[in-house]
Structure 1
Amino acid sequence: MTEQRRRATVVDVALEAGVSRGTVSRYVNGGHYVSSEARQAIEAAIRKVGYTPNTAARSLVRQRTQAVGFIVHEPHSVFLEDPNIGVIMLGANSALSTRDYQMVCLIVDSERDTDRVSRYLSGGFVDGAIVVSARDRDPILSVIERLGLPAAFVGHPPGITAPFIGIDNRGASAAITQRLMQTGRRKIGMIAAALDRDSGADRLAGFREALGIAYDPELVVRVPLYSFLDGAAGMRTLLERAPDVDGVVAASDAVAAGALQTLLESGRSVPRDVGLVGFDDSSWATRTTPALSTVHQPAEGIGRAAAEAVLEQIRTGDIGAGGLVLDTSIVWRGSA
């Protein structure tokens, strides 16, 4: 039986570097009051002896986990299908990694998940949280508020006091609806998704605002999720209600891609018979033929800003409020 190799310690590093154990500890815990000469010697010693910091022990000393939760309130299928969430997550992870923080991904897909994540947060396993797709009156929000946990929200669910990062969903939806109207469409419907959260509700509000007196509630089909399948089903319902519809605003690119499939299967030509627009400028927008006209939102920048907001709260201990609204733009492609 082979003997297990002993794990290198700060003592081994100190002996190899020719410095005190306290100097090595200061280096490992942030590098404060360590000279450049000592720093270089310690780094060389760490490489030579193969030292890896004991993060669990460091967390006990500093009362920090060096971890931030990335909480997504979506079914697993949407989490995997929606490239926007992935880009937001990568942006957040990029900002966290520069500060040596780990991201812990937590998916809330059921009441059981809500209970599990609530217990996890209450157990002190993360120093803060980034929350994506929070619903109105979401129980996770009350847990975060009760704990005083540093947090930032992607979007702006009602009643939150923590910082939020988002876009003007209402204004962007109104702008792309107006652009579709300018192409001469006269009977414009919407596949409105995710109305239990601020983004979906605001996109519907923007659509209604743009149409004004031309708004017809019968031309709005409400579907649960920002998903391809919901888009396809929603388009079938819209065609049953209004076979002569000539313009469609979809609440997301995934929804628009599903709608496009239904339109093509029904014999409609896009954009000749029906002009179609999406929202997000995700990879769905360029996968389709024709490519989707859509609203570009800076998903990576949203994720990065949310992480930075959480890190700032952790650093200062100030659980702030207020929000940051990032710019959007219309990207016009072949579908309209």
Structure 2
Amino acid sequence: MCSCTYDVTVEATGRRRRATVKDVALEAGVSRGTVSRVLNGQPYVSDEARAAIDAAIAKVGFVPNRAARSLVMQSSQAIGLIVHEPHSLFVEDPNIGSILLGANAALSEAEYQMASLIADSPRDVQRLSHFLGAGLIDGVIIVSARVGDPITQAVAHLGLPAAFVGHPRDIGDAAYVAIDNRAAAREVTTRLVGTGRRRIGMIAAALDRDSGSDRLAGFVDALGHRFDPQLVQSVPLYSFSCGQEGMRALLEREPDIDGVFASSDAVAAGALDVLHAAGRSVPEQVGIVGFDDSSWALRCDPPLSTVHQPATELGRAAAEAVLRQLRGEGAGGPHLLECPIIWRGSA
């Protein structure tokens, strides 16, 4: 039996033979080395030869073998976007989707592929840590990292180009893109106070990461001496169900509450659902504000007053930070984006 390996599929299978670099070179009338230099973005090729090669590629239907190119270039042309959240929140939270789309747009423009990676469990974290060390991606964008996150530690150990969406306190001088969660939370709470509310509570989600803890800090800043820890209910996730859970707990403990800062729009939507079920009119009896200006905000009744989080721009900026590192330009330092207050009918 012959053990030879053929570069193309035989015609007997009925499938079209895959075009090769040799086919492009023959069609363009140049050497295979010249074709390879063009494909790898190398200099010292005349404009005339480049034009002939481009035309030949189109004519013969040549598609580069990226796996083989990666071995030569020591580059996978892929960037991982790691979301350290439960699977359910990955689907429910529109901010994650917007971050993903923004990052993908920037990477696509640079001819990079994005690989979406979800860390839902300790097993996922262990699996991803091994994956990162296998050389299958050139860099990472990390969303929702916590302080002491093992994925962060794995990235640092491997020396991978990385950018964080958000600012965990233990990432050293790694690149990150973020908003000023504390200042925004302070501003939206101050505006809620300005509507005349006297018993303002907070459903404080995700206190194990910088965004959640900073939003609670901003809430405390705004209330000053009026802050009452009994009016804060912590919940684990930025989710609708956690908003319901938090609002029920607040109403049971503090039935005279007349204002609520929910630390995300999804949390606020869940809180509104409970308020409506309890017969509390919004905004007449209880004013409520959220955070994100996501699609949840407009689905609420009444529409939600909130903080606009530029999620798509955050994803794009994080991707661009990783690309800069891959080009040898350095991390570029922190990148803070504006997050204005959007005032609607809920307060």
Normalising by structure 1, report the TM-score: 0.97
| Post-superposition offset of 1:37 | 2.4
Aligned to 2:202: 190
Aligned to 1:292: 304
Structure 2: unaligned runs, 5 residues or longer:
1-11
Instruction: Indicate whether 1:118 and 2:129 are aligned.
Output: yes
Aligned to 1:258: 270
Aligned to 2:189: 177
Aligned to 2:168: 157
Give distance in 1, aligned partners of 2:66 and 2:195. 59
Give distance in 2, aligned partners of 1:216 and 1:206. 14
Aligned to 1:130: 141
Give distance in 1, aligned partners of 2:304 and 2:345. 6
Q: CA-to-partner distance for each residue in 1:23-42, whole Å, 9 max, x for gaps?
A: 21111112533333222221
Aligned to 1:37: 48
| Post-superposition offset of 1:321 | 6.5
Instruction: Indicate whether 1:323 and 2:334 are aligned.
Output: yes
Among 284, 287, 307, the alignment partner of 1:275 is: 287
SS where residue 184 of structure 2 aligns? helix
| Post-superposition offset of 1:329 | 0.2
Among 195, 198, 214, the alignment partner of 1:202 is: 214
Aligned to 1:311: 323
Give distance in 1, aligned partners of 2:225 and 2:182. 17
SS where residue 123 of structure 2 aligns? helix
Aligned to 2:241: 229
Matched to 2:292, the amino acid is D
Instruction: Indicate whether 1:81 and 2:89 are aligned.
Output: no
Shift in alpha-carbon separation, 1:317–1:146, aligned structure 2, 3 A? farther
Aligned to 2:112: 101
Q: CA-to-partner distance for each residue in 1:286-311, whole Å, 9 max, x for gaps?
A: 11111100000211111111000001
Normalising by structure 2, report the TM-score: 0.94
Among 151, 165, 189, the alignment partner of 1:140 is: 151
Aligned to 2:70: 59
Among 245, 251, 270, the alignment partner of 2:257 is: 245
Matched to 1:311, the amino acid is L
Give distance in 2, aligned partners of 1:232 and 1:31. 58
Aligned to 1:212: 224
Give distance in 2, aligned partners of 1:240 and 1:272. 20
Give distance in 1, aligned partners of 2:49 and 2:282. 67
Aligned to 1:49: 60
Q: CA-to-partner distance for each residue in 1:16-58, whole Å, 9 max, x for gaps?
A: 1122212211111125333332222212211211110000111
SS where residue 159 of structure 1 aligns? coil
| Post-superposition offset of 1:325 | 0.9
| Post-superposition offset of 1:175 | 0.2
| Post-superposition offset of 1:3 | 4.3
Matched to 1:212, the amino acid is G
SS where residue 244 of structure 1 aligns? coil
Give distance in 2, aligned partners of 1:28 and 1:79. 37
| Post-superposition offset of 1:71 | 0.2
Structure 1: unaligned runs, 5 residues or longer:
none
**Identity across the alignment (%):** 66
